[in-house]
Amino acid sequence: MKSAISLLLPVFSLALYGCQPPAPAAAPQGASGGSDLSAVMTARGLTDEDVLAAAKTWTPSGKHDDYVLFASGGQMGGLIAIGVPSMRILKYISVFETEPWQGYGYGGLSSKILKEGNQGGKDITWGDVHHPNLSETNGDYDGKYIFVNDKANARIAVVDLADFSTKQIIANPLIMSDHGGAFVTPNTDYVIESSQYAAPLGGGYAPLSDYNEKYRGAAMFWKFDKEKGRIDPSKSFAVELPPYMQDLSDAGKLASDGYVFIGSWNTERATGTGGDKSKPYLESGASQNDMDFLHIIDWKKAEKLVADGKTTTINGVKVISLETAAKEHVLTFVPEPKSPHGADVTPDGKFIVVGGKLDTHATLYDFAKIKDEMDKGEYASKDPYGVDVLDFAKSIKGQKEIGLGPLHSVFDDKGNVYTSVFLDSTVVKWNYLNLDQPTESIAVNYNIGHIAAAEGDTVSPDGHYVVAMNKMAEDRFTPVGPLLPQNFQLIDISGPTMKIIYDLPIPLGEPHYAQMIKADKLHTIPAYTPAGTNPYTNAVDPGAVKAGEERIERHGNKVDVYMSVIRSHFTPDYLELNQGDDVTLHVTSLEQAYDQTHGFTIDMYNVNLSMEPGKYEEVHFTADRAGVFPFYCTEFCSALHLEMEGYMLVKPKGA
Ligand code: RUQ
Ligand code: CUA
């Protein structure tokens, strides 16, 4: 019998070989099967569909990807940049964690950035990154910045996409954990960070018995200064929220611009056992109510209240109190079914999709209806804190039966919604413009959390691809012990049915959210220009040197070293110090050539820098250990890389 493979072979051969006819079938050569396509398919056990998927994702050497997926690295603390459709990992971007290759947090300028992120006087050396969000202009990704949140330590970071590096970490002085971040308003006026687990605002103490009165949530609006590319805490503010666990959030756009939507669970205000064994664990205590509250925040009104001084100050943050927020309708609620997860605004801004988690539906809220009720002052009830609650049935367009555990939704260019369904391990496609259109479901492997689509969170999604971010890999890859990677599955959504075309194991953390941007929107710099540019000020640093200006300046025990780096030497290459000297190294890469990175490490001193072309770095330390310490270049930069070495001699005290 002729197999489907051989019947279809000419099609694939043409696709893979262009116009050249395939070589005649030959006997398999080794495990790869040699050079004949059908022999390779036989040797590797590949189906026609496998080969088609391979042809859709295979990206020959030197060809670039159409999209870049920025995925959270979860507990790794940083970001992962992945090319789509090749699914090749392009870079890890360190954000909240030290990372040696990028010289991140080993004595250089980045150590100061990490230090800014310390909370309550404690060094925090990792982060639980959940939601990377790209900066937007008019609701479209502009490719300039990406913001991330650290759930565990309530922090937000700003990553510059010109050089893919972290420029700012802001420690939230109000809340103890966050989750609804780092979402942006459509022109990146604000980066939003809302709390997850309620606690007394500002980090104070209160017993769990005071939960209802003293524990609170907050939605932080971090003002982003687009000129400087930094968050400006002095122009930022927060809205105090009840102690419901605020969850995912999304900013309104177009029709709903000016509003922010934050899901919540635990309107029961369960606190776990609190040491009392007769009380339920938090998980069941928080799952009693049929409805929780979708929070609707009018941030433009909030801005006005802040300008009018209608705030209190906690730990230096201007806070609109819950009472004021309720009274002024900065905060309004609409019920949402049972412990929801995910609040995603549709590309036209007209609807908000909420995943049921403990409900089998996705609920489609109609913002025009919500706005109408709010304008008319038609409220159904009040919550215990005096916040007005809208009527559920009046506020929705409808609900769609999705399956067990719908979580997050992303969009394409045709009104289709792709909802991740955790318990069922599926992606379900449905249409928010036409709720009668039947759903289509595809099995993913396994237990999908978030899902990302090409330009999916913008006002104009592209379609083409979605990526299922699966929490479990189970049998998908070669076993690596009990701690398994996550599994990203690339799904082709361009055809009439969804098709999985690639599996990518993520071996260093549990990614949550991701966003996918058109690669040509990114404008990275090839080098820091001119040489001596400080990556954190974008200007030539006063401490930078030109060739010939290198020197060592000593004032008492204070030593400043002005050093240059270029293939294949450091100038000066010899430092003579006295034990106890207070040393500052000002290091300038004089390189401008593409991909000519040097490293700089001082043995035994825990100093390690990455010196990309033109970069200025600065290290400050005390020469407290006497001895002979080689310093050298850690990147294989040239034929004489091993020779790129020098000595730091530290004379013992009293010698
Ligand atoms: S979460 S798997 Cu942190 Cu975004 Cu939903
Ligand atoms: Cu410079 Cu190796």
Amino acid at 335: P
How far, in Å, CA of 41 to CA of 48, rounded?
8
What pLDDT, on the 0 to 100 scale, is given for residue 29? 55
Condensed to tens digits (0 to 9), the pLDDT of residues 189-198 reads: 999 999 999 9
**Residue 321 class from Cβ within 10 Å (0-12 exposed, 13-18 middle, 19+ buried)?**
middle
Condensed to tens digits (0 to 9), the pLDDT of residues 149-164 reads: 999 999 999 999 999 9
Please report the beta strands in 302-459, taking only residues with DSSP state E, as ranges in sequence order: 312-314, 317-320, 331-337, 341-345, 351-355, 361-366, 381-382, 388-389, 396-401, 406-411, 416-421, 426-431, 440-443, 448-453
How far, in Å, CA of 224 to CA of 184, rounded?
9
Indicate whether 187 pLDDT > 70.
yes
Residue 21 DSSP symbol: P
Q: Which ligand is nearest to the CA of 194?
A: 1
Whose structure tokens read 């706005």? 371
What pLDDT, on the 0 to 100 scale, is given for residue 23? 46
Indicate whether 337 pLDDT > 70.
yes
Tell me if 410 sits within 8 A of 459, measured CB to CB: no
Condensed to tens digits (0 to 9), the pLDDT of residues 394-406 reads: 999 999 999 999 9
Q: What number does the ligand 1 atom closest to the CA of 341 have?
A: 5
For residues 456-467, give the mean pLDDT: 97
Q: Is 33 left (phi over 0), alpha (psi -120 to 50) or beta?
A: left
Give every CB contact of residue 491 below 8 A, 6+ residues apart in sequence.
427, 442, 444, 465, 466, 467, 468, 498, 499, 500, 501
93: number of CA atoms within 13 Å, CB side? Answer: 27
Give every CB contact of residue 359 below 8 A, 6+ residues apart in sequence.
337, 338, 339, 340, 406
For residues 310-314, give the mean pLDDT: 98
* Ligand 1 pocket, CB under 6 A: 130-131, 179, 248, 341, 407-408, 449-450, 512-513
Q: Which ligand is nearest to the CA of 510?
A: 1
For residues 327-353, give the mean pLDDT: 95
Tell me if 494 sits within 8 A of 463, measured CB to CB: yes
**Residue 10 class from Cβ within 10 Å (0-12 exposed, 13-18 middle, 19+ buried)?**
exposed
Q: Which ligand is nearest to the CA of 246?
A: 1
- Residue 209 has phi, psi (to 5 degrees) of -65, -20
DSSP 95-107: SSS-BTTTTBTSS
**In which band, very low, low, confident or very high, does the pLDDT at 21 lie, cut at 50, 70 and 90?**
very low
What pLDDT, on the 0 to 100 scale, is given for residue 253? 97
C-alpha to C-alpha distances, 618 to 46, 305, 469, 542, nearest whole angstrom: 53, 43, 39, 11
How far, in Å, CA of 589 to CA of 161, rounded?
21
Q: Write the secondary structure of 231-251 as one string of H (helix), E (strand) and C (coil).
A: ECHHHCEEEEECCCEEEEEEE
Q: What number does the ligand 1 atom closest to the CA of 407 have?
A: 5
C-alpha to C-alpha distances, 134 to 24, 74, 184, 380, 569, nearest whole angstrom: 50, 17, 8, 37, 39
CATH 2.130.10.10 fits 67-521, yes or no: yes
Q: How far is the CA of 544 from the centre of ligand 2 (A)?
A: 19
What pLDDT, on the 0 to 100 scale, is given for residue 9? 40
CATH superfamily of 536-651: Cupredoxins -  blue copper proteins (2.60.40.420)
Condensed to tens digits (0 to 9), the pLDDT of residues 59-81 reads: 999 999 999 999 999 999 999 99
Give every CB contact of residue 631 below 8 A, 6+ residues apart in sequence.
570, 575, 600, 601, 602, 603, 645, 646, 647, 648
- Residue 93 has phi, psi (to 5 degrees) of -110, 115
Pairing of strands 426-431, 440-443: antiparallel
* Ligand 2 pocket, CB under 6 A: 568, 598, 633, 635-637, 641, 644
Give every CB contact of residue 510 below 8 A, 6+ residues apart in sequence.
74, 75, 471, 486
How far, in Å, CA of 283 to CA of 278, rounded?
14
Q: How far is the CA of 112 from the centre of ligand 2 (A)?
A: 25
481: number of CA atoms within 13 Å, CB side? Answer: 2
Q: How far is the CA of 598 from the centre of ligand 2 (A)?
A: 5
Q: Would you list the domain boundaries of the chain? A: 4-57, 67-521, 536-651
Residue 555 host element (H or E): strand 551-555
Q: What number does the ligand 2 atom closest to the CA of 642 have?
A: 2
What pLDDT, on the 0 to 100 scale, is given for residue 8? 41
Average per-residue pLDDT in the chain? 94
Q: At what angle do helices 37-44 and 48-57 cross, to 10 degrees?
A: 110
For residues 599-623, give the mean pLDDT: 98
Ligand 1 mutation target, pool 450, 451, 470, most atoms within 8 A of CB: 450
Q: Is the pTM of this model over 0.85?
A: yes
The SS3 assignment for 481 reads: coil
Q: How far is the CA of 583 from the centre of ligand 2 (A)?
A: 23
Amino acid at 399: Q
Q: At what angle do helices 4-17 and 37-44 cross, to 10 degrees?
A: 120
State how far Cα 66 lies from the chain centre.
20
Ligand 1 mutation target, pool 72, 150, 192, 248, most atoms within 8 A of CB: 248
Q: Which ligand is nearest to the CA of 355?
A: 1
How far, in Å, CA of 351 to CA of 370, rounded?
10
What pLDDT, on the 0 to 100 scale, is given for residue 33? 74
Pairing of strands 574-578, 645-651: parallel
Residue 402 DSSP symbol: -
What pLDDT, on the 0 to 100 scale, is given for residue 338? 85
Dihedral in degrees, nearest 10, Cα atoms 466, 469, 472, 478: 70
Ligand 1 mutation target, pool 149, 245, 357, 407, most atoms within 8 A of CB: 407
Q: What number does the ligand 1 atom closest to the CA of 450 have?
A: 2
How far, in Å, CA of 484 to CA of 594, rounded?
37
Q: How far is the CA of 23 from the centre of ligand 1 (A)?
A: 49
Q: What number does the ligand 1 atom closest to the CA of 512 have?
A: 4
Indicate whether 201 pLDDT > 90.
yes
Indicate whether 178 pLDDT > 70.
yes
What pLDDT, on the 0 to 100 scale, is given for residue 258? 98
pLDDT above 70: percentage of residues in the chain:
95
The residue that leads in pLDDT, 495 or 16, is: 495
Q: Which ligand is nearest to the CA of 643?
A: 2
For residues 469-494, give the mean pLDDT: 97
